[in-house]
Structure 1
Amino acid sequence: MSRAICWFKNDLRIDDNPALTSAARAGALLAVYCLEARCAGDSAYGAPRMGAHRRDFIAQALAALHERLASLGVRLVVAVGEPEDVMVRLAVKNGVDSVWTVAEIAPEERWQMQRVRDALARVDVTLYETRPNTLHARDELPFELAEMPRVFTRFRRRIERAARPAPPIDPPDWCRGIEDPDLSGVAWVDSSDPPATDVPFVGGEDVARARLSHYLWQTRAVTHYKQTRNRLLGEHFSSKLSPWLASGCLSVRRVADELSRFESSVLANESTYWLMLELRWREFFYWVLARHGVRLFARSGLLDRHDRPDAVDAAVIDAWKAGRTGMPFVDANMRELAATGYMSNRGRQNVASYFIRDLRQDWRWGAAWFEAQLVDYDVASNWGNWANIAGVGTDKRDEGFNVMSQALHYDGEAEYVSYWIPELRALPRKQRHAPWLAEADQLADTGYPRLTTIPPAWRDLVPSASV
Structure 2
Amino acid sequence: MKTALVWFKTDLRIEDNETLIKAISQSQYIIPVYCFDDSHFETTSYGFKKTGSFRAQFLLEALEDLDTNLKKLGSGLLIVKGKPEIEIPKIVQEYKVQKVFVKREVAYEEKQTEKLVQDELFKLRCELETCSTSTLYHAEDLPFSIKDIPDVFTNFRKKTEKDAVIRKPFEKPLAISSHEIPEFRLPFLEELGLKKIKSDKRAAIPFKGGETEAIKRLNHYFYETKSLSKYKETRNGMIGADYSSKFSAWLAMGCISPRYIYAEVKKYEKEIGANDSTYWLIFELLWRDFFRFMFKKYQTKFFLYSGIKTEKVNSKSLNEKLLSQWINGTTQSDFINANMLELKLTGFMSNRGRQNVASYFCNELNMDWRLGAAYFEEQLIDYDVCSNWGNWAYLAGVGNDPREHRWFNIEKQASDYDKKREFRNLWLK
Q: TM-score range by the shorter chain?
A: over 0.9
Say if 1:189 and 1:265 are closer, same or farther in 2 by CA, change over 3 A.
Answer: closer
Structure 2 alignment gaps of length 5 or more: 190-195
Q: Deviations over 1:172-212 (max 9, x none)?
A: 0001011256xxxxxx9713999997361000101000101
Aligned residue for 2:119? 118
Q: Deviations over 1:128-182 (max 9, x none)?
A: 101121112211111111110100000110111011221111110001011256x
* 1:295-444 alignment, distance < 5 Å: 295-397=301-403, 398-422=405-429
Does structure 1 retain, via aligned residues, the 8 Å contact 2:325–2:331? yes
Structure-2 separation of matches of 1:87 and 1:4: 12
* TM-score where L is the length of structure 2: 0.94
Structure-1 separation of matches of 2:84 and 2:188: 23
User: Structure 1 residue 239 and structure 2 residue 245: aligned?
Assistant: yes
RMSD: 1.6
Question: Tell me, what secondary structure is at the counterpart of 1:34?
Answer: strand
Question: Tell me, what secondary structure is at the counterpart of 2:62?
Answer: helix
* 1:22-33 alignment, distance < 5 Å: 22-25=22-25, 26-33=27-34
Structure-2 separation of matches of 1:192 and 1:76: 14
Does structure 1 retain, via aligned residues, the 8 Å contact 2:31–2:181? no
Structure-2 separation of matches of 1:27 and 1:47: 43
Q: Deviations over 1:15-46 (max 9, x none)?
A: 11111111222220111111111111111211
* 1:64-75 alignment, distance < 5 Å: 64-75=65-76
* TM-score where L is the length of structure 1: 0.87
Q: Which moved more, 1:119-128 or 1:135-144?
A: 135-144
Does structure 2 retain, via aligned residues, the 8 Å contact 1:84–1:116? yes
Q: Which consecutive segments of 4 or more residues in structure 1 shift more than 4 A? A: 192-197
Greater Rg by CA = 1
Question: Tell me, what secondary structure is at the counterpart of 2:222?
Answer: helix
Question: Tell me, what secondary structure is at the counterpart of 1:99?
Answer: strand
* 1:439-450 alignment, distance < 5 Å: none
Does structure 1 retain, via aligned residues, the 8 Å contact 2:314–2:363? no
For residue 323 of structure 1, what is the amino acid of its counterpart? G
User: Structure 1 residue 49 and structure 2 residue 50: aligned?
Assistant: yes
Aligned residue for 2:166? 165
Structure-2 separation of matches of 1:204 and 1:413: 36
Does structure 2 retain, via aligned residues, the 8 Å contact 1:3–1:29? yes
Q: Deviations over 1:225-258 (max 9, x none)?
A: 1111111101110000000000000111000010
For residue 250 of structure 1, what is the amino acid of its counterpart? I
Aligned residue for 1:452? none
Does structure 1 retain, via aligned residues, the 8 Å contact 2:75–2:181? no
Say if 1:189 and 1:311 are closer, same or farther in 2 by CA, change over 3 A.
Answer: farther
Does structure 1 retain, via aligned residues, the 8 Å contact 2:107–2:296? yes
Say if 1:196 and 1:314 are closer, same or farther in 2 by CA, change over 3 A.
Answer: closer
Question: Tell me, what secondary structure is at the counterpart of 1:408?
Answer: helix
Structure-2 separation of matches of 1:72 and 1:381: 33
For residue 7 of structure 1, what is the amino acid of its counterpart? W
Identity %, equivalent residues: 39
Structure 1 alignment gaps of length 5 or more: 182-187, 423-467
Q: Deviations over 1:258-286 (max 9, x none)?
A: 00111122111111111111111111111
Question: Tell me, what secondary structure is at the counterpart of 1:78?
Answer: strand
